[in-house]
Structure 1
Amino acid sequence: MSFVRRLLWLTPVLGAATAAVLLSGNSGISAPATAPKTELKTAVGLPISRVALFSSGVGYFARSGDVDGNVRVDLTFPERDINDLLKSMTLEDFGDGQVSAVSYDSREPIDRTLASFAINLNNNPTLGQILTQARGEQVEVVLQQNVVGQPGTISGKIVGLETHKSTSDKGATTDSEVLNLWCADGMRAVKLSDVQRLRFVNPTIEAEVRRALEVLSLNHDQQKKAVSLHFTGQGRRKVQVGYVVENPIWKTSYRLVLDKDGKEVPKVQGWAIVENPTDEDWNGVEMSLISGRPISFKMDLYNPLYVNRPTVEPELFASLRPPTYAGDLKKFAKAIDPMAAMMDGLSAPKPTAAAEPMEEKRALSGMRGRSGASRGDEEELLRDEAKRQLNLDAVQSAATAAKLGDNFSYNINKAVDLARQKSALLPIIAGEIEAKRVSIYNASVQAKHPLLGLRLKNTTGVHLMQGPITVFEGATYAGDTRVLDIQPKEERLVSYAIDLGTEVNPVVTTPNERITSVKIDKGIVTTNTRIRFQNTYQIVNRSPMDRTLILEHPNRKNEGFNLVETVKPVEETADLWRFELPVASGKSASLTVTEEDNTLSTIELTNSNDDQIRFFLAQTVLSDAARAKLNQALTIKGKCDQAERELAQVTAEIERITTDQTRLRQNLREVPPTAEAYKRYLKKFDEQETEMDALTERQKSLQTSVHQARVAYETFLSNLTVE
């Protein structure tokens, strides 16, 4: 268990170690100026000695070995791992030595590097563009032998380049670049197309061009980066470097064997799938597989980062610009990476005896291959095979399980050998597990049949990480399932096949709504309405075996529904209620699940009509006192309605007379005063005026009565309070 214990006690060491190990550019960080210079020997790269793989996509790798005296250890890493290396690397010298420096290949952007040379080779410059950059430099030019009128070799300083246009015999115009040189005998113009060879006389310029070409050449292979570790100390001692880099997650798969007769305890076998995606073989490494998921991220620490700076013109050529000042940046305490600290010094238990490889017996296939076997013999062999129990005892767990804080670790007991770009299956669990056969029904999964399943209880004593499970009954494949992470002693349902021998018919009844209570408070009626849903599950077991049915029903507690008049569920999840129901072979059963929701609603009586009050009077849950008060309210409302009807009749009569008088006035203007009709119209008009006066008085009286009745009704309702 030293592998795990060192993971914990070395956590505080990480901060000090990280601060001591300064990461630098190409040359690293040298020792203080007062320290004497030490001669470093180059040691062979440190082999991988320990590996801890996480289920979060990273792995901790430790390299260790012996060094002697002052040593520089050179290692190479893929470029994609450099950022993680710089973020998490820890160094240890177990012989009281010191880590003087860590240096690594820099990654200056190539365009910035090329721009730093005297001749800038960025953007694939032409010969003319290169010579333009070298104006004023002394060059030696060798011309082609067929150039007439020019010496074979010309030496001079570059003045510049220009473009000449020339016309061919056919009239075509072409451009040609001409190099102007200042020579000892004066100015010379040389076509670049006539130049066979050109050399810079200045050795500094020659060296700059050569270095720029080397940068271009090295940039072609950026897959590997060199990292040098500088150890200083006395004598032979052990050193170690640890780091966390990206790695494929390790996975688990299980085999579960059930006894057909149910007499033996089910057995489980767990395998870990690990991969070595590196370009280096793992030889004799100590390995731990950790089921936790520490937070891990990437950060660009490798690429040099530059801050854009403004260009400021001298005051001689530009007026002063208004300055701007940035605020003071807050200083944050340096946060130690908890994952890297936890990984520092990780070690595994001492290797023990290796587990023997599993060797399955294929007795049936071997017997079937015998020549001359009769049909009766084959049938007997098939019956024997059906009774056979798959034996997993040949594979023993090669790992020791241990609790590691909030995580769980499987420490492989034997040193692991795994070639580069290879994967392996490692046995980590082997033993018995508690399992009860059940049939699991969920209408949204399979509407007609439940699924054959198990109620697993993790009695292995170790954490079971999520993964697929292949289920065998005896020696026969029964199906596949998948399980999520299970803590020790935790129970979990799994299903692996359809139970064709059991059939379920869900019957859903129409929702029933009923008002259960009515309460009146100051004219506001509050009703409690009960909404009831009822689902009946009719089950038939046609199989030759008794079944224990786990029935899953949607849990709608977050919608306000609660179970009523229903057996208590054996389990309750955030989304489901689970009921357990035994169903004997050849028998039927049923389970009714009733859900109820109570909804409160309020109505203001002063804003409602008579029909609303009569609706409440029709409710059987209304108390006698409330019924009497509501009937009294209807009586008051009836008086108010009678007064309103009388007022409406008087108003209608006034409107009729007003309309008729308009007609009479029109007739009186048209008919002569001496006519008999005129006298008749005038008499009728006089009678209507007398009637209008009486109706107007009656209208005023009724308006007063209606107002008083309405006030009385509203006052009664607003003060009405009764249970």
Structure 2
Amino acid sequence: MNRPTLLAAAAALLTVTPAMAQDAMPQSALVLKRVTLSTGGVGSFEYEARVTGDATLSLEVRRDQVDDVLKSIVVYDDQGGVGTIGLPGAEPLDTAFRELPFTSGDLGSPAALLTALKGAEVETDGARALTGRVLSVTEDIVQTANGAGTTTRHRVSLMTADGIRQLILEDADGLRFTDPRVRAQVDAALSAIADNARRERRRLSVRSLGNGAKAERTVRVAFVAATPLWKATYRLSLPAAGSATSATSGQPGVGALQGWAILENLSGEDWRDVDLSVVSGNPVTLRQALYTPYFVERPEVPVEVLGRVLPTSDEGGVALAQTRGMAEAAPLRAAAMAPAAMAAPMAKSAPYADAAPPPPAPAPQAAAVHSAEASAADTSTQVLFRYPQPVSLVNGGTLMMPIIARALPTERIALYQPNTQPRHPLAALRLRNDSGTALPPGLLTFYETVNNAPTHVGDARMATLPVGESRLLSFAVDQAVTIDRAEQPSRRLTRASIADGALLLTVSDRQTTTYTVAGARDGDRNLVIEHPRRPGWTLVEPKETTVEATANAYRLALPVPAGKTVTLTASLERPRQERILLTDLSADQLTIQAASQELPAALRDALLKLASLRAAVAEKERRIADIERDQQERVAEQERLRANLTALPVGSDLHKRTLAKMGDAETRLDALSRDLTAARAEAETARASLRERIRGLTL
């Protein structure tokens, strides 16, 4: 570019005023010269004009593009300087009514306008010619002449020299304001409304400063605005099967690839002989409502009255000695900053180097390359395709622009994706990009030569294809190959130990999948199986190092001879640990663990001994439970005898026998209490022995 000068929005964008409209500078129209469309949903539009001396360049844009224009507009001037850019306000109609005594809504009817201009002097024509100031306008609802309904009429009251006079507004032949200033205000408001109805576009005025230069120079103005997303599509033509350049199973061939960019011109103006480019990438594109006026909320403080004091809040202070030191250092800092401040751009800008010429059209790479193919250039984040010839496209039109035409290496494969088709693989091609530039994503249509004529065999979706990489493009279901899949989960103990009272087991979970493939009768297949990846699992079979991994699958290659049945086994493993507290296991659970043949013999013997100790503890605990249950029964029996004793006559035989039974029950309860104490002591001894054994066990 020739001398880029980026404009700060706060300093360069000024609202056009009537005074500016009368500027004496010559008006020159900017002509669209270059268009670049991006997959970020925006387009760059560059305009040019030849000017001499000071000039004002006009540029019209759609109303909905103004925010983007304010955000991105840039001016390039190879010899002169950049002035200001002006455009009408965002709401010109509101601005027009801001100083008027009525609103746009008051122009909806004569009655509303008279009400808004109450006090203005008017004069009427007709049978009752009156002159006076508007006092009021009221509605009257009256019957129609035939009595079938009602109608609304407006009664206008005027203050005249003879007092208050009234007239029916609908009966007056004419009514006008006597004050020329009021008539001018109404006329200006009506003109603003009519003009606003036509203003779907905004005209920008770009001021270019000649800075005394007399020679003619070029001024460029560019901006970025929202555009429809351009789309890439491809056609891949394959030679006839069996030809020297055809791709067979496991053998690469070549295919003729054509790429096209489909784009629309919805910019609001026709493109005439523009330099057209498309860019593929994933840029950050933002928008902001810069054309909408915003007002800052300000805090309201009370009105000061006599005797009222509003002290400010204290924010602390600095010691005087420190302040003096800072003040002495300030001139030194100012002197150090002075060169940088003086380097700021002045009104007259220094000339820049001339812009580099546009890149030349690419030379044909092969006989199949069309002469009008777009030239491609890679950047760090995008790929640009530039059409070598001027392009014309009417507003609202659609265009197809070629972006690539060359032969690329291809290989036929059968791609098995279980989630896409569980029984048959997909007919696919492996396409490698050796074109020297990345290819954007898009749909791809396959053609194959059959009987010396191209025949459509399917479509595919192609992701972004960087230089030197390949993509698998599936275009049909290969019904001639059948695949059966069987899954078998298993578990294997790899390590066991006892420490800190816990049994530590390292277990390896394995998921084994066996693929049984029945080959096609019509020829060999180079099958690629996409085996699903699982987080935390590792592929352990097959062990070949040529396995290709995608984000969600492993790609396993399997040659399938014609008419043969072959198998492939894929295994995933995941290690995990189990920690079992030995104190939480019962004797039966310990016995089950000891019965596992995966455990070493020493560990099984230790678990059996723990099971014996745990059984002894359980036996003691059962003895305690039996004694406690017997105690509860004796207590219940004693309560029953005590209740019976209160109901029997004292000294009777039954009374005496009941007393004897109560004595026996008390004796039995004493014995049970002694037995319970002894049983609890024995159980605690057994538990302590078990805990000690577990605590000291390390294997």
TM tier, smaller: 0.7 to 0.9
Q: Give 1:396 shift.
A: 4.2
Q: Secondary structure at the match of 1:107?
A: coil
Match of 2:12 among 18, 22, 31: 22
Asked if the contact 2:369–2:405 (Cα under 8 Å) also holds between the matched residues in 1, the reply is no
What CA distance in whole angstroms lies between the structure 2 residues aligned with 1:638 and 1:204? 114
Q: Secondary structure at the match of 1:631?
A: helix
Corresponding residue for residue 459 of structure 2: 480
**How high is the sequence identity, in percent, across the aligned residues?**
29
Match of 1:49 among 33, 39, 44: 33
Residue 417 to residue 178, structure 1, CA distance change in 2 (3 Å): closer
Match of 2:469 among 479, 490, 508: 490
What CA distance in whole angstroms lies between the structure 1 residues aligned with 2:92 and 2:185? 18
Match of 2:539 among 555, 563, 566: 563
Asked if the contact 2:513–2:571 (Cα under 8 Å) also holds between the matched residues in 1, the reply is yes
Corresponding residue for residue 80 of structure 1: 64
Q: Give 1:58 shift.
A: 0.9
Q: Give 1:708 shift.
A: 1.9
Corresponding residue for residue 263 of structure 1: 244
Asked if the contact 2:496–2:503 (Cα under 8 Å) also holds between the matched residues in 1, the reply is yes
Corresponding residue for residue 407 of structure 2: 432
Q: Which amino acid aligns with 1:41?
A: P
Match of 1:226 among 191, 195, 203: 203
Q: Give 1:39 shift.
A: 3.4
Q: Secondary structure at the match of 2:130?
A: strand
Asked if the contact 1:398–1:414 (Cα under 8 Å) also holds between the matched residues in 2, the reply is no
What CA distance in whole angstroms lies between the structure 1 residues aligned with 2:625 and 2:299? 88
* 1:205-284 matches, cutoff 5 A: 205-233=182-210, 234-259=214-239, 260-261=241-242, 263-264=244-245, 265-284=254-273
Q: Secondary structure at the match of 1:455?
A: strand
Q: Which amino acid aligns with 2:376?
A: A
Q: Which amino acid aligns with 1:622?
A: L
Pick which of 617-626 and 631-640 moved more: 631-640
What CA distance in whole angstroms lies between the structure 2 residues aligned with 1:452 and 1:130? 76
Corresponding residue for residue 194 of structure 1: 171
Q: Give 1:114 shift.
A: 2.2
TM-score by length of 1: 0.79
Corresponding residue for residue 372 of structure 1: none
What CA distance in whole angstroms lies between the structure 1 residues aligned with 2:67 and 2:478? 53
Q: Which amino acid aligns with 1:701?
A: A
* 1:561-600 matches, cutoff 5 A: 561-568=537-544, 570-600=547-577
Q: Secondary structure at the match of 2:14?
A: coil
Residue 589 to residue 123, structure 1, CA distance change in 2 (3 Å): farther
Q: Give 1:517 shift.
A: 3.2
Q: Secondary structure at the match of 2:105?
A: coil
Residue 238 to residue 599, structure 1, CA distance change in 2 (3 Å): same
What CA distance in whole angstroms lies between the structure 2 residues aligned with 1:409 and 1:266? 24
Structure 2 residue ranges without an equivalent (≥5): 246-253, 316-353
Does residue 63 (structure 1) correspond to residue 47 (structure 2)? The answer is yes
What CA distance in whole angstroms lies between the structure 1 residues aligned with 2:685 and 2:202? 99
Q: Give 1:651 shift.
A: 4.5
Q: Give 1:464 shift.
A: 0.5
Corresponding residue for residue 358 of structure 2: 349
Count of residues in correspondence between the two structures: 640
Asked if the contact 1:90–1:243 (Cα under 8 Å) also holds between the matched residues in 2, the reply is yes
Q: Which amino acid aligns with 1:91?
A: V
Corresponding residue for residue 512 of structure 2: 534
Q: Secondary structure at the match of 2:458?
A: strand
* 1:515-534 matches, cutoff 5 A: 515-534=493-512
Q: Secondary structure at the match of 1:616?
A: helix
Give a deviation string over 1:292-328, Cα, whole Å, max 9, x none: 2322222222233345779999899xx9999999x9x
Q: Which amino acid aligns with 1:513?
A: R
Q: Give 1:581 shift.
A: 0.5
What CA distance in whole angstroms lies between the structure 2 residues aligned with 1:638 and 1:244? 84
Corresponding residue for residue 80 of structure 2: 97
What CA distance in whole angstroms lies between the structure 1 residues aligned with 2:207 and 2:56? 5
Residue 713 to residue 203, structure 1, CA distance change in 2 (3 Å): same
Give a deviation string over 1:498-544, Cα, whole Å, max 9, x none: 112211111223x2234443322121122233332221111111232
Residue 161 to residue 540, structure 1, CA distance change in 2 (3 Å): closer
Does residue 39 (structure 1) correspond to residue 14 (structure 2)? The answer is no
RMSD: 3.8
What CA distance in whole angstroms lies between the structure 1 residues aligned with 2:614 and 2:557? 58
What CA distance in whole angstroms lies between the structure 2 residues aligned with 1:593 and 1:166? 94
Asked if the contact 1:291–1:408 (Cα under 8 Å) also holds between the matched residues in 2, the reply is yes
Corresponding residue for residue 337 of structure 1: none
Corresponding residue for residue 388 of structure 2: 413
Q: Secondary structure at the match of 2:389?
A: coil
Asked if the contact 1:550–1:579 (Cα under 8 Å) also holds between the matched residues in 2, the reply is yes
Give a deviation string over 1:110-146, Cα, whole Å, max 9, x none: 3453242134332544323322333333322212xxx
Asked if the contact 2:61–2:202 (Cα under 8 Å) also holds between the matched residues in 1, the reply is yes
Q: Secondary structure at the match of 2:686?
A: helix
Residue 132 to residue 658, structure 1, CA distance change in 2 (3 Å): closer
What CA distance in whole angstroms lies between the structure 1 residues aligned with 2:144 and 2:472? 90
What CA distance in whole angstroms lies between the structure 2 residues aligned with 1:403 and 1:71? 38
Does residue 548 (structure 1) correspond to residue 550 (structure 2)? The answer is no
Residue 430 to residue 321, structure 1, CA distance change in 2 (3 Å): farther
Q: Which amino acid aligns with 1:142?
A: D
